[in-house]
């Protein structure tokens, strides 16, 4: 009975399903999406020359070491071949084999170091190289990584004129060095190539071991000469052959190689030279440094940070490129740790992990040889130093999870603080329309203000203007003119340039108890939620604006004349002329680096003056002196000093004799997508990461990588 009943029930269920399918097939089509895929690794650009992507991060050399030791490999699309190694704690360097100014060649190491230090005072691309000539060590000081011989020649002239090598006994005249060389070999090992280079150096020739890969295996050679052109290299051939060079020849143009120099730039007189691998600009050489086991790599030129994974060095746009290839989830350990506080709630950590993972997957190869970069142009990535237990837990708890919209992983952009309301992408940020980045979402972003006191924007009797914390002032009513006044309650009270205690900025003044000040308005303390800038001069703002849009100076007036749905700036008018930028979010940069476009501009020099004849004059547009009539009937000039005035509505303000502009901002960042501080507050209110993500990103699904 039970068995037959089960069969009947199953049959009815199948029939019902078939009926539903028939009905659906006749009325709508079901869209099926492929499973999402999160790559195992990600490539992070640390040094790249990509001005078209607003990322220009340059270094003449990359210096690395690992406590686990490093393996150095040559990487081709077809194969990877080991070409060297560095012992635990041993430094290895990478640079371009390019044109440079060889400022000095000497046998005097101390003299070479002194010259190096002189060059380093005005150049970050100074090198000290050791080589052997006539059986003795010789030291060359060179400067620059130049793309042309002419540019290196100009630099050489400068260093000679500056007397960089004065007082040091030179073995050869300064010259332009370049990547043009002869080739000798092959030799059995790098040590054999070094011995051959020393032998060729007996004839006074510059000779360095080099490595390249032939048929998938490393091969070792000697590069002879560092000449500015092909003719200079060819002229060395008889002397190189006579010095014992093996199969000396002119290598083909574009032949790939890695020169191995003994570099003493960092070690000085006390330390041993480091291997420096120099690669040519146009040969497509890629070198890879990888630590043993779970070791990390320290990169000196990136603030001595430590990184998981491997480093790849190549040349992009005539500049050394350094890319960190790292496990995707381990990359997120650092990103989440850098983007949100370690003490933030676990659900906020998880929300950040999913958003960051989605953003990185959606980036593709947005930076040619890298998926993302390590700055907030993509998302902050500072290596293992940013990792913490909570960020790692948030990443691990959401492993492989991403946000999708219509079957595609979304570019889940986020900002620090949206100032209470998220931005509209189409009208207020980048001008595009997406179905998941909805603007106008109320965001609980005021968390940074918790426990902080308000400040007063005040004017002093001297006419100066600044900020005093509210607990240091007491209400004293109004003066005879009806203007509100307050008294200072403590000696040595600081008047600050911003509403925040900052050790980097000295107070405008210090006031004794009982001093009278004139409150203009009450403001929040500067945080990621609310920020008031110091007054900007018209000259500084004009220079900033002219990087984005042409404004004819001098800058006299500047006002917001267009706002989007969330209140963010879409248009600014300068000197009466409306200005529109390609991208509304560019107003952050155009206005001198404003933290957000949810802002207002106070024009301190602007006012309408009613004259004794009943005419109105607009300052600063109309010139002329300003006279004030006192209660005693006498007039005095107000030129050259701040004026404390009351407008028609009874609001007091300070007017400056020259135009200046004060920006008051809500939020921090573009305001699009998830607000990190808003996510923190939502988590504190008991919401999980899924709710947070779907609160900020509309119509999205949270899907998991098929292989996770």
Residue 464: pLDDT above 90?
no
**CA angle (163, 263, 120) in 5-degree steps:** 35
3-state helix, strand, coil in the chain (%, to 5): 25, 35, 40
Q: What whole-number distance in Å separates Cα of residue 263 and Cα of residue 270? A: 13
Q: DSSP letters of 551-598?
A: --SS---EEEEEE-TTS-EEEEEETTEEE--SSGGGHHHHTTS-S-SS
Peptide bond into 20 cis (omega under 30): no
Average pLDDT in the 589-615 region? 82
Best CA proximity match to 158, nearest among 105, 104, 103: 103
Instruction: Give φ, ψ of 89 to 5 degrees.
Output: 80, -5
Average pLDDT in the 41-61 region? 97
Who wins on pLDDT, 9 or 524?
524
Q: What is the pLDDT of residue 8?
A: 40
Average pLDDT in the 410-426 region? 96
Cα within 13 Å of Cα(401), Cβ side: 18
Q: What is the pLDDT of residue 662?
A: 95
Q: What is the pLDDT of residue 609?
A: 60
Check if the beta carbon of residue 574 is closer than 8 Å to that of residue 545: yes
Residue pLDDT, tens place only, 261-319: 999 999 887 788 999 999 999 889 999 999 999 999 999 999 999 999 999 999 999 99
Q: Kindly indicate the confidence band of residue 31, based on its pLDDT and cuts at 50, 70 and 90.
A: very low
Q: What whole-number distance in Å separates Cα of residue 173 and Cα of residue 178? A: 15
Residue 483: pLDDT above 90?
no
Average pLDDT in the 594-619 region? 77
Q: What is the pLDDT of residue 19?
A: 36
Check if the beta carbon of residue 594 is closer than 8 Å to that of residue 578: no
* Radius of gyration (C-alpha) of the chain in whole angstroms: 33
Residue pLDDT, tens place only, 2-16: 333 344 444 444 444
Q: How would you class 546 by CB atoms within 10 Å of its CB: exposed for 0-12, middle for 13-18, buried for 19 or more? A: middle
Q: What is the pLDDT of residue 607?
A: 61
Written in H, E and C, the secondary structure of 375-394 is CCCCCCCCHHHHCCHHHHHH
Q: Kindly indicate the confidence band of residue 432, based on its pLDDT and cuts at 50, 70 and 90.
A: confident
Tokens of 414: 């986020």
β pairing state of 305-307 and 297-299: antiparallel
Q: How would you class 447 by CB atoms within 10 Å of its CB: exposed for 0-12, middle for 13-18, buried for 19 or more? A: middle
Check if the beta carbon of residue 415 is closer than 8 Å to that of residue 664: no
Residue 707: pLDDT above 80?
no
Total Cβ atoms within 10 A of residue 16 = 10
Average pLDDT in the 177-189 region? 96
Averaged pLDDT of the chain = 90
Residue pLDDT, tens place only, 643-692: 666 666 666 667 777 899 999 999 999 999 999 999 999 999 999 999 99
Q: Kindly indicate the confidence band of residue 611, based on its pLDDT and cuts at 50, 70 and 90.
A: low
Residue 18: pLDDT above 60?
no
β pairing state of 274-279 and 92-96: parallel
Residue 22: pLDDT above 70?
no
Residue pLDDT, tens place only, 210-254: 999 998 899 999 999 999 999 999 999 999 999 999 999 999 888
Residue pLDDT, tens place only, 321-347: 999 999 999 999 999 999 999 999 999
Residue pLDDT, tens place only, 538-568: 999 999 999 999 999 899 999 999 999 999 9
Peptide bond into 186 cis (omega under 30): yes
Q: What is the pLDDT of residue 30?
A: 44
Best CA proximity match to 285, nearest among 143, 91, 126, 72: 72
**Distances in Å between the alpha carbon of 352 and those of 395, 401, 528, 690?**
9, 11, 17, 11
In terms of phi and psi (left: phi > 0; alpha: psi -120 to 50; beta: otherwise), the region of 653 is: beta
The residue ranges of every structural domain in the chain are 97-252, 453-526
**Distances in Å between the alpha carbon of 668 and those of 76, 415, 519, 532, 591?**
43, 7, 27, 12, 14
Q: What is the pLDDT of residue 28?
A: 45
Model confidence, pTM: 0.87
């Amino acid at each position: 009975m039970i068995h037959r009943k089960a069969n009947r029930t199953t049959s009815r269920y199948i029939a019902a399903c078939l009926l539903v399918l028939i009905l659906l097939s006749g009325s709508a089509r079901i869209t099926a999406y492929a499973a999402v895929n999160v790559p195992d690794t990600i490539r992070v650009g640390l040094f790249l020359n990509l001005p078209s992507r607003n990322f220009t991060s340059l270094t003449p050399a990359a210096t690395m070491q690992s406590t686990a030791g490093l393996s150095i490999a040559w990487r081709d699309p077809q194969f990877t071949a080991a070409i060297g190694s560095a012992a635990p704690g041993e430094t290895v360097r990478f640079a371009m084999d390019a044109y440079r100014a060889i400022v000095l060649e000497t046998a005097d190491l101390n003299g070479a170091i002194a010259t190096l230090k002189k060059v380093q005072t005005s150049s970050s691309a100074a090198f000290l190289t050791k080589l052997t000539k006539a059986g003795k060590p010789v030291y060359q000081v060179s400067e620059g990584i130049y793309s042309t011989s002419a540019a290196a020649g100009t630099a050489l002239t400068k260093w000679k004129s500056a007397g960089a090598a004065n007082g040091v006994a030179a073995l050869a005249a300064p010259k332009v060095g370049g990547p043009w060389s002869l080739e000798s070999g092959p030799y059995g090992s790098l040590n054999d190539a070094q011995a051959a280079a020393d032998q060729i150096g007996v004839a006074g020739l510059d000779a360095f071991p080099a490595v390249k890969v032939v048929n998938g295996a490393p091969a070792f050679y000697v590069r002879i000469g560092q000449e500015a052109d092909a003719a200079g290299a060819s002229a060395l051939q008889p002397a190189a052959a006579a010095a014992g060079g093996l199969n000396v020849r002119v290598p083909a143009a574009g032949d790939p190689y890695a020169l191995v120099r003994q570099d003493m730039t960092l070690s000085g007189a006390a330390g041993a030279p480091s291997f420096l691998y120099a690669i040519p600009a146009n040969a497509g050489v890629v070198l890879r440094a990888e630590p043993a086991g779970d070791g990390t790599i320290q990169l000196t030129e990136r603030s001595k940070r430590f990184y998981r994974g491997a480093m790849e060095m190549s040349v992009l746009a005539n500049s050394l490129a350094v890319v960190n290839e790292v496990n995707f989830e381990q990359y997120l350990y650092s990103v989440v740790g850098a983007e949100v506080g370690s003490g933030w709630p676990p659900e906020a950590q998880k929300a950040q992990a999913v958003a960051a993972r989605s953003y990185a997957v959606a980036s593709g190869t947005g930076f040619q040889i890298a998926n993302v970069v390590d700055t907030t142009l993509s998302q902050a990535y500072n290596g293992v130093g940013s990792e913490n237990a909570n960020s790692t837990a948030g990443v691990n708890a959401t492993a492989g999870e991403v946000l999708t919209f219509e079957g595609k992983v979304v570019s889940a952009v986020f900002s620090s603080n949206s100032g209470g309301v998220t931005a509209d992408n189409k009208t207020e940020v980048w001008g595009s329309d997406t179905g998941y980045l909805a603007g106008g979402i109320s965001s609980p972003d005021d968390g940074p203000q918790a426990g902080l006191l308000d400040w007063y924007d005040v004017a002093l009797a001297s006419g100066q203007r600044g900020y005093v914390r509210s607990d240091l002032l007491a209400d004293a009513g109004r003066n005879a003119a009806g203007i509100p006044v307050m008294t200072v309650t403590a000696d040595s009270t600081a008047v600050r340039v911003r509403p925040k205690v900052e050790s980097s900025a000295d107070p405008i003044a210090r006031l004794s108890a009982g001093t009278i000040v004139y409150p203009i308005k009450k403001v929040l303390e500067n945080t990621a939620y609310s920020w008031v800038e110091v007054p900007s001069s018209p000259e500084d703002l004009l220079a900033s604006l002219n990087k984005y849009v042409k404004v004819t100076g001098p800058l006299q007036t500047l006002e917001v004349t267009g706002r989007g749905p969330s209140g963010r700036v879409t248009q600014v008018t300068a000197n009466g002329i409306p200005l529109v930028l390609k991208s509304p979010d560019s107003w952050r940069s155009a206005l001198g680096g404003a933290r957000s476009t949810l802002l207002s501009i106070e024009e301190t020099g602007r006012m309408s003056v009613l004259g004794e004849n009943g005419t109105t004059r607009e300052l600063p547009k109309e010139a002329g002196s300003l006279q004030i009539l006192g209660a005693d009937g006498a007039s005095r000039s107000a030129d050259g000093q701040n004026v404390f005035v009351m407008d028609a509505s009874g609001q007091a303000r300070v007017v400056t004799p020259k135009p200046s502009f004060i920006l008051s901002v809500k939020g921090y960042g573009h305001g699009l997508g998830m607000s990190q501080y808003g996510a923190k507050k939502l988590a504190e209110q008991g919401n999980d990461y899924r709710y947070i993500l779907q609160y900020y990103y509309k119509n999205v699904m949270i899907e998991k990588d098929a292989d996770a």
